[in-house]
Structure 1
Protein backbone atom coordinates (compact mmCIF):
# COMPACT_ATOMS: atom_id res chain seq x y z
CA UNK A 1 0.00 0.00 0.00
CA UNK A 2 1.40 3.37 -1.04
CA UNK A 3 2.62 5.36 1.99
CA UNK A 4 1.13 8.43 0.34
CA UNK A 5 -2.31 6.97 1.09
CA UNK A 6 -1.74 7.09 4.86
CA UNK A 7 -3.75 9.44 7.02
CA UNK A 8 -3.12 9.93 10.74
CA UNK A 9 -5.97 9.99 13.23
CA UNK A 10 -5.06 12.97 15.37
CA UNK A 11 -7.81 12.33 17.89
CA UNK A 12 -6.09 9.19 19.18
CA UNK A 13 -2.46 9.98 18.28
CA UNK A 14 -0.52 13.01 19.57
CA UNK A 15 -2.87 13.21 22.56
CA UNK A 16 -0.21 14.89 24.68
CA UNK A 17 -0.54 17.96 22.46
CA UNK A 18 -3.38 20.48 22.27
CA UNK A 19 -5.71 19.55 19.44
CA UNK A 20 -4.71 22.44 17.19
CA UNK A 21 -1.02 21.48 17.40
CA UNK A 22 -1.57 17.92 16.27
CA UNK A 23 -1.81 18.55 12.50
CA UNK A 24 1.62 20.18 12.60
CA UNK A 25 2.96 17.25 14.62
CA UNK A 26 1.67 14.87 11.95
CA UNK A 27 3.36 16.95 9.29
CA UNK A 28 6.65 16.94 11.19
CA UNK A 29 6.35 13.15 11.49
CA UNK A 30 6.28 12.94 7.70
CA UNK A 31 2.57 12.70 6.89
CA UNK A 32 0.56 14.76 4.43
CA UNK A 33 -2.94 13.84 5.63
CA UNK A 34 -4.89 13.69 8.89
CA UNK A 35 -8.30 12.74 10.16
CA UNK A 36 -10.21 13.55 13.35
CA UNK A 37 -13.12 12.38 15.41
CA UNK A 38 -15.56 15.24 15.98
CA UNK A 39 -13.10 17.97 17.06
CA UNK A 40 -15.52 20.21 18.93
CA UNK A 41 -17.26 20.18 22.31
CA UNK A 42 -20.72 20.65 20.84
CA UNK A 43 -22.57 19.70 17.67
CA UNK A 44 -22.80 23.37 16.73
CA UNK A 45 -19.45 24.97 17.57
CA UNK A 46 -18.80 28.67 17.50
CA UNK A 47 -17.58 30.07 14.19
CA UNK A 48 -14.33 31.04 15.90
CA UNK A 49 -13.73 27.41 16.94
CA UNK A 50 -14.38 26.18 13.41
CA UNK A 51 -12.07 28.84 12.00
CA UNK A 52 -9.31 27.88 14.44
CA UNK A 53 -9.59 24.22 13.46
CA UNK A 54 -9.51 24.99 9.75
CA UNK A 55 -6.55 27.29 10.25
CA UNK A 56 -4.63 24.62 12.17
CA UNK A 57 -5.06 22.18 9.29
CA UNK A 58 -4.17 24.75 6.66
CA UNK A 59 -1.14 26.12 8.48
CA UNK A 60 0.25 22.60 8.88
CA UNK A 61 -0.02 22.02 5.15
CA UNK A 62 -1.90 18.73 5.53
CA UNK A 63 -5.18 17.50 4.11
CA UNK A 64 -8.18 16.62 6.30
CA UNK A 65 -9.18 13.39 4.59
CA UNK A 66 -11.86 12.29 7.04
CA UNK A 67 -13.78 13.62 10.02
CA UNK A 68 -16.55 12.22 12.21
CA UNK A 69 -19.89 13.89 12.65
CA UNK A 70 -20.85 14.76 16.23
CA UNK A 71 -21.20 11.53 18.18
CA UNK A 72 -22.13 12.54 21.71
CA UNK A 73 -19.93 12.04 24.75
CA UNK A 74 -17.54 9.26 23.73
CA UNK A 75 -15.93 9.12 27.17
CA UNK A 76 -19.34 8.42 28.69
CA UNK A 77 -20.06 5.63 26.23
CA UNK A 78 -22.01 7.48 23.53
CA UNK A 79 -21.31 6.21 20.03
CA UNK A 80 -23.19 8.46 17.67
CA UNK A 81 -26.39 10.43 17.20
CA UNK A 82 -27.67 9.02 13.91
CA UNK A 83 -30.35 6.79 15.45
CA UNK A 84 -31.05 8.84 18.59
CA UNK A 85 -34.43 10.64 18.41
CA UNK A 86 -33.32 12.97 21.21
CA UNK A 87 -30.37 14.24 19.19
CA UNK A 88 -31.46 14.08 15.55
CA UNK A 89 -31.34 17.85 15.20
CA UNK A 90 -27.84 17.98 16.67
CA UNK A 91 -26.70 15.34 14.22
CA UNK A 92 -28.02 17.25 11.23
CA UNK A 93 -26.48 20.48 12.49
CA UNK A 94 -23.11 18.75 12.75
CA UNK A 95 -23.50 17.49 9.18
CA UNK A 96 -23.77 21.06 7.96
CA UNK A 97 -20.70 22.07 9.94
CA UNK A 98 -18.61 19.08 8.86
CA UNK A 99 -19.46 19.36 5.18
CA UNK A 100 -18.61 23.06 5.28
CA UNK A 101 -15.22 22.21 6.75
CA UNK A 102 -14.76 19.38 4.27
CA UNK A 103 -15.40 21.68 1.33
CA UNK A 104 -12.49 23.85 2.45
CA UNK A 105 -10.06 21.06 3.33
CA UNK A 106 -10.58 18.36 0.71
CA UNK A 107 -12.39 15.85 2.91
CA UNK A 108 -13.51 12.66 1.15
CA UNK A 109 -15.33 10.81 3.93
CA UNK A 110 -17.49 11.50 6.97
CA UNK A 111 -17.91 8.88 9.68
CA UNK A 112 -21.51 8.72 10.90
CA UNK A 113 -21.45 6.65 14.08
CA UNK A 114 -24.80 4.91 14.28
CA UNK A 115 -25.63 5.35 17.96
CA UNK A 116 -26.43 2.96 20.78
CA UNK A 117 -29.73 1.24 21.36
CA UNK A 118 -31.85 3.29 23.76
CA UNK A 119 -33.92 1.70 26.50
CA UNK A 120 -37.60 2.29 25.88
CA UNK A 121 -37.17 3.17 22.20
CA UNK A 122 -37.96 0.48 19.64
CA UNK A 123 -35.11 -0.71 17.43
CA UNK A 124 -37.30 -0.38 14.34
CA UNK A 125 -37.99 3.25 15.19
CA UNK A 126 -34.30 3.95 15.69
CA UNK A 127 -33.38 2.24 12.44
CA UNK A 128 -36.02 4.19 10.49
CA UNK A 129 -34.68 7.47 11.89
CA UNK A 130 -31.11 6.40 11.15
CA UNK A 131 -31.95 5.75 7.50
CA UNK A 132 -33.50 9.19 7.16
CA UNK A 133 -30.57 10.93 8.86
CA UNK A 134 -28.02 9.02 6.82
CA UNK A 135 -29.81 10.00 3.63
CA UNK A 136 -29.71 13.63 4.76
CA UNK A 137 -25.98 13.32 5.41
CA UNK A 138 -25.34 11.50 2.14
CA UNK A 139 -27.01 14.22 0.10
CA UNK A 140 -24.98 16.88 1.86
CA UNK A 141 -21.73 14.97 1.38
CA UNK A 142 -22.51 14.39 -2.29
CA UNK A 143 -22.29 18.14 -2.89
CA UNK A 144 -18.52 17.88 -2.32
CA UNK A 145 -18.15 14.40 -3.83
CA UNK A 146 -17.60 12.74 -0.44
CA UNK A 147 -18.85 9.51 1.13
CA UNK A 148 -20.72 8.71 4.32
CA UNK A 149 -18.98 5.95 6.26
CA UNK A 150 -20.73 3.35 8.42
CA UNK A 151 -18.53 1.69 11.05
CA UNK A 152 -18.97 -1.49 13.08
CA UNK A 153 -17.59 -1.03 16.60
CA UNK A 154 -16.48 -3.22 19.48
CA UNK A 155 -16.60 -2.85 23.28
CA UNK A 156 -20.00 -1.12 23.55
CA UNK A 157 -22.70 -3.82 23.98
CA UNK A 158 -25.55 -1.45 23.10
CA UNK A 159 -24.01 -0.43 19.76
CA UNK A 160 -25.92 -2.54 17.19
CA UNK A 161 -23.43 -2.59 14.30
CA UNK A 162 -20.88 -5.22 15.26
CA UNK A 163 -19.97 -6.94 12.01
CA UNK A 164 -19.43 -5.81 8.44
CA UNK A 165 -22.75 -7.36 7.42
CA UNK A 166 -24.57 -5.12 9.93
CA UNK A 167 -23.14 -2.01 8.30
CA UNK A 168 -23.83 -3.30 4.80
CA UNK A 169 -27.46 -3.90 5.76
CA UNK A 170 -27.77 -0.25 6.81
CA UNK A 171 -26.06 0.94 3.63
CA UNK A 172 -28.34 -1.14 1.43
CA UNK A 173 -31.44 0.14 3.22
CA UNK A 174 -30.49 3.77 2.63
CA UNK A 175 -29.69 3.00 -1.00
CA UNK A 176 -33.00 1.21 -1.45
CA UNK A 177 -35.26 3.64 0.40
CA UNK A 178 -33.58 6.95 -0.42
CA UNK A 179 -31.53 6.35 -3.55
CA UNK A 180 -28.27 7.45 -1.97
CA UNK A 181 -25.23 5.72 -3.44
CA UNK A 182 -22.40 7.41 -1.52
CA UNK A 183 -22.54 5.30 1.64
CA UNK A 184 -19.62 2.96 2.30
CA UNK A 185 -18.29 0.59 4.92
CA UNK A 186 -15.59 1.89 7.22
CA UNK A 187 -13.46 -1.20 7.79
CA UNK A 188 -11.68 -0.67 11.08
CA UNK A 189 -9.60 -3.84 11.19
CA UNK A 190 -9.19 -3.68 14.97
CA UNK A 191 -12.91 -3.50 15.72
CA UNK A 192 -13.78 -6.16 13.15
CA UNK A 193 -11.13 -8.54 14.45
CA UNK A 194 -12.13 -8.08 18.09
CA UNK A 195 -15.73 -8.81 17.11
CA UNK A 196 -14.70 -12.11 15.55
CA UNK A 197 -14.78 -11.27 11.85
CA UNK A 198 -12.75 -13.25 9.33
CA UNK A 199 -10.82 -10.26 8.01
CA UNK A 200 -9.66 -12.07 4.89
CA UNK A 201 -13.24 -12.84 3.92
CA UNK A 202 -14.42 -9.28 4.62
CA UNK A 203 -11.60 -7.60 2.73
CA UNK A 204 -11.71 -9.86 -0.31
CA UNK A 205 -15.51 -10.11 -0.46
CA UNK A 206 -16.53 -6.52 0.23
CA UNK A 207 -13.76 -4.47 -1.38
CA UNK A 208 -16.18 -2.54 -3.58
CA UNK A 209 -18.22 -1.55 -0.52
CA UNK A 210 -15.26 -0.34 1.54
CA UNK A 211 -14.82 3.42 1.59
CA UNK A 212 -12.13 3.72 4.24
CA UNK A 213 -9.80 1.52 6.28
CA UNK A 214 -8.42 2.08 9.77
CA UNK A 215 -5.74 -0.05 11.39
CA UNK A 216 -4.56 -0.96 14.87
CA UNK A 217 -3.23 -4.25 16.16
CA UNK A 218 -5.21 -6.55 18.42
CA UNK A 219 -5.35 -7.17 21.24
CA UNK A 220 -4.50 -3.78 22.67
CA UNK A 221 -5.38 -1.35 19.85
CA UNK A 222 -1.75 -0.29 19.57
CA UNK A 223 0.92 -0.03 16.85
CA UNK A 224 1.13 -2.75 14.17
CA UNK A 225 3.40 -5.47 15.50
CA UNK A 226 2.23 -5.20 19.10
CA UNK A 227 -0.52 -7.79 18.68
CA UNK A 228 -1.39 -10.81 16.58
CA UNK A 229 -3.11 -9.38 13.50
CA UNK A 230 -1.45 -9.88 10.11
CA UNK A 231 -2.10 -6.28 9.15
CA UNK A 232 0.46 -6.31 6.35
CA UNK A 233 -1.18 -9.37 4.82
CA UNK A 234 -4.66 -7.88 5.11
CA UNK A 235 -3.57 -4.66 3.44
CA UNK A 236 -1.90 -6.62 0.67
CA UNK A 237 -5.23 -8.41 0.17
CA UNK A 238 -6.98 -5.07 -0.14
CA UNK A 239 -4.43 -3.81 -2.64
CA UNK A 240 -4.72 -6.98 -4.71
CA UNK A 241 -8.50 -6.62 -4.74
CA UNK A 242 -8.22 -3.07 -6.07
CA UNK A 243 -8.68 -0.89 -2.99
CA UNK A 244 -7.12 2.52 -3.66
CA UNK A 245 -8.50 4.48 -0.74
CA UNK A 246 -6.91 5.89 2.38
CA UNK A 247 -5.46 3.87 5.25
CA UNK A 248 -5.83 5.51 8.63
CA UNK A 249 -3.38 5.01 11.48
CA UNK A 250 -5.84 4.93 14.36
CA UNK A 251 -4.16 3.36 17.36
CA UNK A 252 -2.98 4.03 20.89
CA UNK A 253 0.70 4.96 20.98
CA UNK A 254 2.78 2.80 23.33
CA UNK A 255 6.30 3.80 22.26
CA UNK A 256 8.25 7.07 22.11
CA UNK A 257 8.07 6.90 18.30
CA UNK A 258 4.64 5.49 17.42
CA UNK A 259 5.66 5.24 13.76
CA UNK A 260 8.88 3.25 14.13
CA UNK A 261 7.21 0.17 12.63
CA UNK A 262 6.66 1.83 9.27
CA UNK A 263 10.06 1.34 7.57
CA UNK A 264 9.90 -2.45 7.75
CA UNK A 265 6.19 -2.85 7.07
CA UNK A 266 5.41 -4.94 3.97
CA UNK A 267 2.55 -2.95 2.50
CA UNK A 268 2.39 -4.51 -0.92
CA UNK A 269 1.82 -2.45 -4.05
CA UNK A 270 -1.03 -0.51 -5.58
Structure 2
Protein backbone atom coordinates (compact mmCIF):
# COMPACT_ATOMS: atom_id res chain seq x y z
CA UNK A 1 0.00 0.00 0.00
CA UNK A 2 1.28 3.44 -0.93
CA UNK A 3 0.34 7.00 -0.08
CA UNK A 4 1.60 9.77 -2.37
CA UNK A 5 4.59 7.67 -3.37
CA UNK A 6 5.47 6.41 0.12
CA UNK A 7 5.33 2.75 1.04
CA UNK A 8 3.08 2.56 4.08
CA UNK A 9 3.50 0.14 6.95
CA UNK A 10 0.73 -0.65 9.40
CA UNK A 11 1.44 -0.51 13.11
CA UNK A 12 -0.46 -3.53 14.40
CA UNK A 13 -0.18 -2.43 18.02
CA UNK A 14 -2.71 0.34 17.31
CA UNK A 15 -4.54 -0.85 14.18
CA UNK A 16 -7.00 -3.78 14.14
CA UNK A 17 -7.23 -3.93 17.92
CA UNK A 18 -10.61 -5.62 17.42
CA UNK A 19 -8.58 -8.72 16.49
CA UNK A 20 -6.29 -10.83 18.63
CA UNK A 21 -2.73 -9.53 18.28
CA UNK A 22 -1.34 -12.37 16.17
CA UNK A 23 -4.29 -12.10 13.77
CA UNK A 24 -3.55 -8.46 12.98
CA UNK A 25 -0.74 -9.29 10.56
CA UNK A 26 -3.18 -11.11 8.31
CA UNK A 27 -5.67 -8.25 8.69
CA UNK A 28 -3.00 -5.82 7.51
CA UNK A 29 -2.23 -8.00 4.51
CA UNK A 30 -5.92 -8.27 3.67
CA UNK A 31 -6.15 -4.47 3.72
CA UNK A 32 -3.32 -4.21 1.18
CA UNK A 33 -0.28 -3.60 3.38
CA UNK A 34 2.98 -5.29 2.44
CA UNK A 35 4.79 -3.87 5.48
CA UNK A 36 3.99 -3.85 9.18
CA UNK A 37 5.53 -2.65 12.41
CA UNK A 38 4.82 -3.28 16.06
CA UNK A 39 5.60 -2.18 19.57
CA UNK A 40 7.33 -4.82 21.69
CA UNK A 41 4.51 -7.41 21.86
CA UNK A 42 5.56 -9.38 24.93
CA UNK A 43 5.13 -8.53 28.63
CA UNK A 44 8.77 -9.31 29.44
CA UNK A 45 12.01 -8.18 27.86
CA UNK A 46 12.85 -11.73 26.79
CA UNK A 47 10.12 -13.75 25.07
CA UNK A 48 9.71 -17.45 25.54
CA UNK A 49 10.70 -19.71 22.67
CA UNK A 50 7.01 -20.33 21.95
CA UNK A 51 6.12 -16.62 21.99
CA UNK A 52 8.90 -15.75 19.56
CA UNK A 53 8.00 -18.63 17.26
CA UNK A 54 4.32 -17.65 17.23
CA UNK A 55 5.22 -14.07 16.27
CA UNK A 56 7.48 -15.14 13.42
CA UNK A 57 4.95 -17.70 12.21
CA UNK A 58 2.15 -15.11 12.11
CA UNK A 59 4.25 -12.63 10.15
CA UNK A 60 5.35 -15.26 7.64
CA UNK A 61 1.86 -16.71 7.23
CA UNK A 62 0.44 -13.26 6.50
CA UNK A 63 3.03 -12.65 3.79
CA UNK A 64 4.03 -9.25 5.16
CA UNK A 65 7.46 -7.85 5.98
CA UNK A 66 8.25 -6.51 9.43
CA UNK A 67 9.79 -3.05 8.88
CA UNK A 68 9.74 -1.67 12.43
CA UNK A 69 10.00 -3.09 15.95
CA UNK A 70 10.16 -1.39 19.33
CA UNK A 71 12.60 -2.64 21.89
CA UNK A 72 11.21 -3.49 25.32
CA UNK A 73 10.15 -0.27 27.04
CA UNK A 74 9.13 -1.56 30.45
CA UNK A 75 5.58 -1.66 31.73
CA UNK A 76 4.02 0.78 29.30
CA UNK A 77 0.41 0.37 30.53
CA UNK A 78 1.67 1.48 33.95
CA UNK A 79 3.45 4.48 32.46
CA UNK A 80 7.02 3.37 31.76
CA UNK A 81 8.56 4.67 28.55
CA UNK A 82 11.86 2.87 28.27
CA UNK A 83 14.32 1.27 30.66
CA UNK A 84 17.75 2.35 29.45
CA UNK A 85 18.12 5.45 31.64
CA UNK A 86 18.26 2.97 34.53
CA UNK A 87 21.73 1.41 34.54
CA UNK A 88 20.54 -1.31 36.92
CA UNK A 89 18.30 -2.64 34.15
CA UNK A 90 21.18 -3.12 31.69
CA UNK A 91 20.99 -6.97 31.90
CA UNK A 92 17.29 -6.78 31.00
CA UNK A 93 18.11 -4.51 28.08
CA UNK A 94 20.86 -6.83 26.84
CA UNK A 95 18.55 -9.85 26.96
CA UNK A 96 15.96 -7.91 25.02
CA UNK A 97 18.52 -6.75 22.45
CA UNK A 98 19.49 -10.37 21.83
CA UNK A 99 15.84 -11.25 21.18
CA UNK A 100 15.34 -8.24 18.91
CA UNK A 101 18.45 -9.19 16.95
CA UNK A 102 17.11 -12.71 16.42
CA UNK A 103 13.76 -11.37 15.22
CA UNK A 104 15.52 -8.92 12.90
CA UNK A 105 17.61 -11.70 11.38
CA UNK A 106 14.50 -13.80 10.81
CA UNK A 107 12.36 -11.04 9.30
CA UNK A 108 14.68 -8.50 7.70
CA UNK A 109 13.39 -5.78 10.03
CA UNK A 110 15.57 -2.66 9.82
CA UNK A 111 13.98 0.05 12.01
CA UNK A 112 14.13 -0.23 15.81
CA UNK A 113 12.51 2.22 18.20
CA UNK A 114 14.48 2.40 21.44
CA UNK A 115 12.52 4.61 23.81
CA UNK A 116 15.03 6.74 25.68
CA UNK A 117 13.51 6.27 29.14
CA UNK A 118 12.28 8.58 31.88
CA UNK A 119 14.36 10.46 34.43
CA UNK A 120 13.87 9.84 38.14
CA UNK A 121 14.72 11.94 41.17
CA UNK A 122 16.67 9.01 42.67
CA UNK A 123 19.67 9.29 40.34
CA UNK A 124 21.86 12.03 38.93
CA UNK A 125 20.32 13.16 35.60
CA UNK A 126 23.75 13.18 33.95
CA UNK A 127 24.28 9.55 34.89
CA UNK A 128 20.84 8.60 33.60
CA UNK A 129 21.48 10.30 30.25
CA UNK A 130 24.87 8.58 30.04
CA UNK A 131 23.29 5.18 30.67
CA UNK A 132 20.69 5.74 27.96
CA UNK A 133 23.25 6.97 25.45
CA UNK A 134 25.52 4.00 26.09
CA UNK A 135 22.59 1.63 25.53
CA UNK A 136 21.72 3.36 22.24
CA UNK A 137 25.31 2.93 21.05
CA UNK A 138 25.29 -0.75 22.03
CA UNK A 139 22.00 -1.31 20.18
CA UNK A 140 23.22 0.56 17.09
CA UNK A 141 26.36 -1.59 16.93
CA UNK A 142 24.41 -4.84 17.32
CA UNK A 143 21.55 -4.04 14.95
CA UNK A 144 23.68 -2.13 12.47
CA UNK A 145 25.43 -5.35 11.46
CA UNK A 146 22.21 -6.28 9.65
CA UNK A 147 21.64 -2.80 8.25
CA UNK A 148 19.34 -1.72 11.06
CA UNK A 149 18.81 1.81 12.34
CA UNK A 150 18.05 2.65 15.98
CA UNK A 151 15.36 5.30 16.23
CA UNK A 152 15.19 8.01 18.90
CA UNK A 153 11.68 9.37 19.40
CA UNK A 154 10.44 12.57 21.02
CA UNK A 155 7.22 12.00 22.97
CA UNK A 156 4.33 14.26 23.92
CA UNK A 157 4.92 16.09 27.18
CA UNK A 158 2.28 15.49 29.83
CA UNK A 159 1.40 12.06 28.46
CA UNK A 160 4.64 10.18 29.05
CA UNK A 161 5.92 11.03 32.50
CA UNK A 162 9.42 12.47 32.94
CA UNK A 163 10.51 11.57 29.42
CA UNK A 164 13.15 14.16 28.51
CA UNK A 165 12.89 14.30 24.69
CA UNK A 166 10.00 16.40 23.42
CA UNK A 167 10.97 17.79 20.03
CA UNK A 168 12.99 17.01 16.95
CA UNK A 169 15.51 19.57 18.21
CA UNK A 170 16.10 17.48 21.34
CA UNK A 171 16.97 14.47 19.21
CA UNK A 172 19.08 16.46 16.75
CA UNK A 173 21.12 17.73 19.72
CA UNK A 174 21.85 14.09 20.60
CA UNK A 175 22.69 13.19 17.00
CA UNK A 176 25.08 16.14 16.79
CA UNK A 177 26.47 15.52 20.28
CA UNK A 178 26.92 12.13 21.97
CA UNK A 179 25.85 10.20 18.85
CA UNK A 180 27.94 12.17 16.36
CA UNK A 181 30.32 9.26 15.91
CA UNK A 182 27.72 6.51 16.21
CA UNK A 183 26.49 5.01 12.95
CA UNK A 184 22.95 3.76 12.57
CA UNK A 185 21.05 6.18 14.82
CA UNK A 186 18.32 8.49 13.53
CA UNK A 187 15.26 10.56 14.35
CA UNK A 188 11.86 8.94 14.57
CA UNK A 189 9.56 11.72 13.32
CA UNK A 190 6.13 11.12 14.86
CA UNK A 191 3.67 13.75 13.73
CA UNK A 192 1.32 13.32 16.70
CA UNK A 193 3.91 13.65 19.43
CA UNK A 194 5.56 16.66 17.82
CA UNK A 195 2.30 18.46 17.15
CA UNK A 196 1.11 17.88 20.71
CA UNK A 197 4.27 19.64 21.90
CA UNK A 198 3.43 22.71 19.85
CA UNK A 199 5.88 21.96 17.05
CA UNK A 200 5.14 23.24 13.54
CA UNK A 201 5.33 19.83 11.85
CA UNK A 202 6.03 21.15 8.35
CA UNK A 203 8.81 23.44 9.56
CA UNK A 204 10.21 20.57 11.65
CA UNK A 205 10.47 18.38 8.54
CA UNK A 206 12.39 21.14 6.81
CA UNK A 207 14.71 21.53 9.81
CA UNK A 208 15.27 17.81 10.34
CA UNK A 209 16.02 16.85 6.75
CA UNK A 210 18.29 13.83 6.42
CA UNK A 211 18.14 13.20 10.18
CA UNK A 212 14.71 11.61 9.72
CA UNK A 213 15.11 7.82 9.65
CA UNK A 214 11.44 6.90 10.04
CA UNK A 215 8.07 8.66 9.97
CA UNK A 216 4.99 7.72 11.95
CA UNK A 217 1.66 9.18 10.96
CA UNK A 218 -1.16 10.20 13.28
CA UNK A 219 -3.26 13.33 13.45
CA UNK A 220 -3.38 15.75 16.34
CA UNK A 221 -5.11 16.24 18.61
CA UNK A 222 -6.57 12.80 19.28
CA UNK A 223 -3.97 10.56 17.60
CA UNK A 224 -6.54 9.40 15.07
CA UNK A 225 -6.19 8.80 11.34
CA UNK A 226 -5.21 11.72 9.07
CA UNK A 227 -8.22 13.97 8.67
CA UNK A 228 -9.49 13.42 12.20
CA UNK A 229 -7.43 16.30 13.62
CA UNK A 230 -5.88 19.58 12.57
CA UNK A 231 -2.68 18.72 10.70
CA UNK A 232 -2.30 19.85 7.07
CA UNK A 233 -1.38 16.50 5.55
CA UNK A 234 -0.75 17.58 1.96
CA UNK A 235 1.76 20.10 3.29
CA UNK A 236 3.39 17.51 5.56
CA UNK A 237 3.95 15.06 2.72
CA UNK A 238 5.07 17.82 0.36
CA UNK A 239 7.67 18.85 2.95
CA UNK A 240 8.87 15.26 3.30
CA UNK A 241 9.31 14.97 -0.46
CA UNK A 242 11.12 18.32 -0.60
CA UNK A 243 13.42 17.21 2.21
CA UNK A 244 14.33 14.11 0.20
CA UNK A 245 12.79 11.64 2.61
CA UNK A 246 12.19 8.38 0.76
CA UNK A 247 10.46 6.35 3.46
CA UNK A 248 9.28 4.29 5.16
CA UNK A 249 6.15 5.85 6.63
CA UNK A 250 3.96 4.08 9.15
CA UNK A 251 0.28 4.40 9.97
CA UNK A 252 0.56 4.53 13.76
CA UNK A 253 -2.73 5.96 14.93
CA UNK A 254 -5.79 5.01 16.96
CA UNK A 255 -8.61 4.66 14.44
CA UNK A 256 -11.73 6.66 15.23
CA UNK A 257 -13.75 4.17 13.14
CA UNK A 258 -13.18 0.57 12.02
CA UNK A 259 -9.56 0.24 10.94
CA UNK A 260 -10.52 -0.55 7.34
CA UNK A 261 -12.75 2.53 7.22
CA UNK A 262 -9.99 4.67 8.71
CA UNK A 263 -7.84 4.11 5.60
CA UNK A 264 -9.94 6.42 3.42
CA UNK A 265 -7.15 9.02 3.64
CA UNK A 266 -4.71 6.85 1.67
CA UNK A 267 -4.13 8.12 -1.89
CA UNK A 268 -1.94 5.95 -4.15
TM-score, length basis structure 1: 0.93
1:262 aligns with 2:265: yes
Select the residue among 245, 249, 266 that pairs with 1:243.
245
Aligned residues of 2:9 and 2:35 also touching (Cα < 8 A): yes
- The question of 1:55 aligning with 2:52 is answered no
Distance 1:258 1:185, change over 3 A: farther
Distance in 2 (CA, whole Å) between partners of 1:53 and 1:41 is 14
Moved more, 228-237 or 61-70: 228-237
Deviates more, 1:249-258 or 1:13-22: 249-258
C-alpha RMSD of the superposition: 1.5
Structure 1 unpaired stretches of 5+ = none
Instruction: Provide structure 2 residue ranges, at least 5 long, that are not aligned to the other structure.
Output: none
The alpha carbon displacement at 1:71 in A equals: 0.2
Structure 1 partner of 2:148 = 146
Tell me the equivalent position of 1:32.
34
Equivalent residue, structure 1, for 2:174: 170
How far apart are residue 232 of structure 1 and its match? 2.5
Question: 1:189: Cα distance to partner?
Answer: 0.5
Distance 1:111 1:145 in 2: 14
Cα deviation for residue 197 of structure 1 reads: 1.0
Name 1:23's counterpart in structure 2.
25
Q: Distance in 2 between matches of 1:107 and 1:124?
A: 32
Q: TM-score, normalising length from structure 2?
A: 0.94
Instruction: Tell which has more relative contact order, 1 or 2 (C-alpha 8 A, sep 6+).
Output: 2
Task: Confirm or deny that 1:185 pairs with 2:187.
Answer: yes
Distance 1:239 1:92 in 2: 37
Tell me, yes or no, if the aligned pair for 2:45 and 2:92 is still in contact at 8 Å: yes
- 1:156 shift after superposition: 1.9
Does the 8 Å contact 1:215/1:231 carry over to 2? no
Alpha-carbon distance between aligned partners in 2 of 1:216 and 1:117, rounded to the nearest angstrom: 26
Moved more, 132-141 or 199-208: 199-208
Query: How many angstroms apart in 2 are the aligned matches of 1:47 and 1:167?
Result: 35
**What's the counterpart of residue 7 of structure 1?**
9
- What is the SS of the residue equivalent to 2:83? coil
Task: Give how far 1:3 is off.
Answer: 5.4
* Mean CA deviation greater in 65-74 or 228-237: 228-237
Q: Is the 8 A contact 1:4 1:32 kept in 2?
A: no
Q: Secondary structure of 1:207's match?
A: helix
Contact 2:79 2:161 in 1 (8 A): no
- Secondary structure of residue in 2 paired with 1:135: helix
Q: Distance in 1 between matches of 2:9 and 2:263?
A: 16
